[in-house]
Chain A
Amino acid sequence: DAGVIQSPRHEVTEMGQEVTLRCKPISGHNSLFWYRQTMMRGLELLIYFNNNVPIDDSGMPEDRFSAKMPNASFSTLKIQPSEPRDSAVYFCASSLAGLAGSGETQYFGPGTRLLVL
Chain B
Amino acid sequence: AQTVTQSQPEMSVQEAETVTLSCTYDTSENNYYLFWYKQPPSRQMILVIRQEAYKQQNATENRFSVNFQKAAKSFSLKISDSQLGDTAMYFCAFTGSGTYKYIFGTGTRLKVLA
Instruction: Give residues in A with beta carbon < 8 Å to B.
Output: 31, 33, 42-43, 45, 48, 50, 55-56, 89, 91, 93, 95, 97, 99-103, 105-111, 113
Whether B101 and A111, one on each chain, are in contact in the complex, defined by CB atoms closer than 8 angstroms, is no
Bound Cα distance A105, B73 (Å): 20
- Assembled-state Cα–Cα distance A111/B89 (Å): 15
Q: Give the residue among B99, B100, B101 with the most A Cβ atoms within 10 A.
A: B100
Known: A31-B100, A100-B99. Is A111-B33 also a contact (CB below 8 A)?
Answer: no
- Seed contacts A100-B99, A103-B50; 4 additional CB < 8 Å A-B pairs: A95-B100, A108-B44, A111-B45, A113-B43
Which of B46, B97, B107 is within 8 Å of A42, CB to CB? B107
- Which chain A residue lies CB-closest to B46? A108
**Residue pair B99, A108 in contact (C-beta under 8 Å):** no
Number of A-B contacts (CB under 8 A): 55
Is the CB–CB distance between B106 and A100 below 8 Å? no
CB-nearest residue of chain B to A107: B47
Q: How far is the CB of A40 from chain B (nearest CB, A)?
A: 11
**Which residues 16-60 in B have Cβ within 8 Å of A in the complex?**
32-33, 35, 37, 42-47, 50, 52
Asked if residues A103 and B97 are in contact (CB atoms below 8 Å), the reply is: yes
For B104, the chain A residues whose CB sits under 8 A away are 42-43
Q: Which residues of A contact B100 (CB under 8 A)?
A: 31, 33, 48, 50, 55-56, 95, 97, 99-101
- Asked, given contacts A100-B99, A101-B98, whether A110 binds B44 with beta carbons under 8 Å apart, the answer is yes
- The complex places the Cα of A31 from the Cα of B102 at a distance, in Å, of 13
Given contacts A42-B107, A45-B102, contact A103 B33 (CB under 8 A): yes
Are B47 and A100 touching (Cβ within 8 A)? no
Q: Is the CB of A42 within 8 A of B47?
A: no
Known contacts A103-B33, A103-B52, A105-B50; is-contact A45 B44 (Cβ 8 Å): no
CB proximity of A26 to chain B, nearest CB, Å: 12
CA distance A100 to B98 in the complex (A): 5
